[in-house]
Structures are given as C-alpha cells and as structure tokens.
C-alpha cells in the first residue's frame, strides 16, 4: 500500500501527557527514577515516544504532527523533542485525562485547517509488525474520508479476556475485506468484568487500541454531544488565554468512557492485525519483549525474584 497519498489535511496527534504510574516500579529499574513510561527506553535505546514518532512518520507531514505533553514532564521531553518546533508541542498545565488533551489538540488544529483529518496515537503502545500497522492506519485514513460523519477506531484481535481494555462489539459490515474489514460499531464496552470479557471474546469482539481517526469537526461534534460543558469551557479559555484556569477547575475526563461509550452509533471499526499491545502494566511489557524476541540490558541485570520478571523465563 502506498503512503504517498495527498497528506495536505492529515494531522497526527501523539498523546504523551500521561503519568504512567502503574509502570513506575519498572521504569525505576530502567532509568533510576519514576520516569513516565512514554519517555522510558523499554526495548533498547529508543523511548516509547521516539518509537511512536518514527512509526507514524511516513504517514504524515512533520509539520502536521503535534505532541500533547504535560508541563511537569518538561525535563523528560526537552531532549527527546529538541528538534520539534515549539508550535507543535501542546503543553498542558496538568494531566486531566485523555478527553481534555484530545479536545485541546482538536481546537488548535481546527483553527488552522477547516478540513483536518486527525489521527490520535497513544505513546505507550508496541506493535509486532510496524509495516502492517502503517497499512492499517493508511487504509483507515481513506475509510475515514469515506465515512465523514463517523469516528474510525482500530480494533485488535482479542487474544484473551482482558479486563483493562475497552472492547468493541462489531455490527454490520461496511467494507468486506480479508485484511481490513470495516464494520459499524454496535456497542462499546469499557473495562468489563472478566466473565463479561470472556463472553465478548467468544463473540468475536475486538480490543480498542485507542487509535482513532476522523475529521476534526466530527470529533468536536461528538465532544459537544457527550461533554458539552467541557467543549464550551475549552473554547472560552482558549479565546481568553485562560487555559490554566480550565485545567485547575476541571475534573478528569476519559475519552473512551466519557465519549466513545456514549455514541456507538457514530463509530466504525477497522480490524488491525499488526500485533498491537498496550504497555499498561509490567506484565504486558514482559509479554511484548517475549513476543518480539528482545532482551534489553536492564532485563538481563534484573533480580530473578521480581514478580513480573518471572513471567518471561525464556528471556532471563
């Protein structure tokens, strides 16, 4: 698949403002401090942020790739994004969850491009096949333009009944493809109980990778439907230069829980077969290392008594 299509209105947003608290034990082993996971080199010398940036680089113009960050992490991203223009770094005063970070970036992009097609990429993911991942995103960008009133989600095959992921229940087939079938979303389930997750897996439901694609105006429309109070406050604070005031007074909003799960009728899902993995806890990092056949220096020096280390006997 060609990645040289017209990129004029295609924008990428790298979400790198999370605190990564569930991986702090592991990041201390690697870096000696509580470095947020997106700035940590789990798989070698490159951090997850750098790997995310390189993974999506062929699909978007550099000047239309922006990074959502948090002020408290400046000492980590200062060096890693040293060559990035400051206008492409959107610095949040505080971390208030994925929804407010995404809304902020959408408002900024929409001010520059009325026809922007925006893709969101968390910076704590791993893919076993990056080429297949890029093919999925490229095709997803095409399909998002075909269905402008919908938000497109990348869905991954569920390998086990995970309770910490969002699950997508697919419905009617829109594009029948052996590689990238596109379907309507019947329902979105956020972090179900294990017995429910087992049922979802048996019925062919997919994991939500959180990689989302759609027109900026469509995203903003869904925000206006689901969290209207946040949308109104964001517009006012940006207009008056009072972003800090918004963050100080805001609750935490989660995009999956507070937006996606409330408007399944506006969602479509594209199946991705690139071996997606979310690095939300140490066990998933160990699984990714095992499946990738990678043994970084920090793992070789780890004490065998560590609980998560015992999950990868083939590597230690």
- 57 CB-contact burial (10 Å; exposed 0-12 / middle 13-18 / buried 19+): middle
Distances in Å between the alpha carbon of 47 and those of 35, 127, 270, 302? 11, 14, 28, 19
Tokens of 49: 């942020």
Question: Is there a domain that residue 254 lies in?
Answer: yes
Q: Identify the domain boundary among 221, 242, 260.
A: 260
Asked whether residue 254 carries a pLDDT value surpassing 80, the answer given is yes
Are 140 and 93 contained in the same domain?
Answer: yes
Nearest to 174 by CA among 156, 147, 148: 147
Are 313 and 251 contained in the same domain?
Answer: no
Are 231 and 306 contained in the same domain?
Answer: no
Are 221 and 129 contained in the same domain?
Answer: yes
Are 96 and 36 contained in the same domain?
Answer: yes
- 25 CB-contact burial (10 Å; exposed 0-12 / middle 13-18 / buried 19+): middle
pLDDT of residue 20: 83
Which has the minimum average pLDDT: 173-182, 188-197, 299-308? 299-308
Question: Is there a domain that residue 163 lies in?
Answer: no
Mean pLDDT of the chain: 91
Check: CB of residue 233 under 8 Å from CB of residue 116: no
Question: Is there a domain that residue 141 lies in?
Answer: yes
Find the CATH number of the domain harbouring 56: 3.90.550.10
Are 48 and 90 contained in the same domain?
Answer: yes
CA 60 to chain centre: 16
Are 299 and 236 contained in the same domain?
Answer: no
Q: Which domain holds residue 307?
A: 291-316
What mean pLDDT is predicted for residues 21-25?
87
Asked whether residue 244 carries a pLDDT value surpassing 60, the answer given is yes
In this prediction the pTM is 0.93
Tokens of 107: 């408002």
Question: Is there a domain that residue 4 lies in?
Answer: no
Query: Total domain count for the chain?
Result: 2
pLDDT of residue 5: 54
pLDDT of residue 139: 96
Are 225 and 313 contained in the same domain?
Answer: no
Asked whether residue 195 carries a pLDDT value surpassing 90, the answer given is yes
Question: Is there a domain that residue 275 lies in?
Answer: no
Give the whole-angstrom CA distance, residue 311 versus residue 49.
25
Question: Is there a domain that residue 167 lies in?
Answer: no
What DSSP designation does 115 have?
A: T
pLDDT of residue 22: 85
pLDDT of residue 301: 61
Are 245 and 304 contained in the same domain?
Answer: no
What mean pLDDT is predicted for residues 183-212?
95
Are 28 and 96 contained in the same domain?
Answer: yes
Are 134 and 67 contained in the same domain?
Answer: yes
pLDDT tens by residue, 62-86:
999 999 999 999 999 999 999 999 9
Sequence-ordered list of residues with C-beta below 8 angstroms from that of 226, at least 6 positions apart, any chain: 258, 259, 262, 263
Are 124 and 68 contained in the same domain?
Answer: yes
Q: 4: pLDDT confidence band, cut at 50, 70 and 90?
A: very low
Question: Is there a domain that residue 97 lies in?
Answer: yes
Question: Is there a domain that residue 29 lies in?
Answer: yes
Asked whether residue 13 carries a pLDDT value surpassing 60, the answer given is yes
What mean pLDDT is predicted for residues 209-230?
97
pLDDT of residue 305: 41
DSSP per-residue codes, 244-309: HHHHHHPPP--HHHHTGGG-GGGEEEEEE-S-EEE--SHHHHHHHHHHHT---HHHHTS-TTSTGG
- Cross-strand bridge partners of residue 182: 175, 270
pLDDT tens by residue, 30-63:
999 989 999 999 998 899 999 999 999 999 999 9
């Amino acid at each position: 698949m060609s990645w040289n299509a017209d990129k004029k209105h295609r924008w990428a947003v790298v979400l790198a403002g999370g605190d990564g608290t569930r991986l702090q034990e592991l990041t201390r082993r690697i870096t000696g401090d509580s470095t947020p996971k997106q700035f940590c080199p789990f798989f070698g010398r490159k951090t997850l942020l750098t790997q995310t940036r390189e993974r999506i680089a062929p699909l978007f113009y550099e000047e239309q790739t922006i990074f959502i960050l948090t002020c408290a992490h400046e000492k980590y991203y200062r060096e890693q994004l040293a060559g990035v223009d400051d206008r492409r770094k959107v610095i949040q005063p505080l971390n208030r969850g994925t929804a407010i970070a995404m809304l902020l970036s959408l408002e900024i992009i929409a001010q520059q491009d009325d026809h922007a097609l925006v893709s969101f990429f968390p910076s704590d993911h791993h893919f076993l096949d990056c080429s297949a991942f890029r093919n999925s995103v490229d095709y997803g960008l095409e399909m998002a333009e075909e269905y402008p009133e919908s938000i497109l989600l990348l869905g991954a095959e569920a390998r086990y009944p995970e309770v910490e992921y969002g699950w997508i229940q697919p419905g009617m087939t829109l594009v029948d493809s052996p590689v990238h079938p596109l379907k309507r979303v019947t329902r979105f389930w956020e972090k179900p109980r294990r017995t429910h997750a087992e049922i979802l897996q048996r019925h062919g439901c997919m994991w939500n990778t959180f990689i989302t694609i759609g027109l900026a105006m469509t995203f903003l429309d869904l925000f206006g439907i689901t969290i209207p109070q946040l949308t109104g406050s964001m517009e006012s604070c940006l207009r008056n230069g009072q972003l800090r005031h918004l963050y100080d007074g805001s609750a935490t909003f989660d995009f999956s829980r507070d937006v996606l799960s409330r408007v399944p009728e506006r969602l479509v899902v594209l199946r991705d077969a690139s071996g997606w993995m979310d690095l939300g806890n140490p066990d998933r990092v160990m699984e990714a290392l095992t499946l990738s056949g990678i043994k970084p220096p920090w793992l070789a020096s780890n004490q065998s008594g560590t609980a998560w280390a015992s999950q990868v006997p083939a590597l230690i």
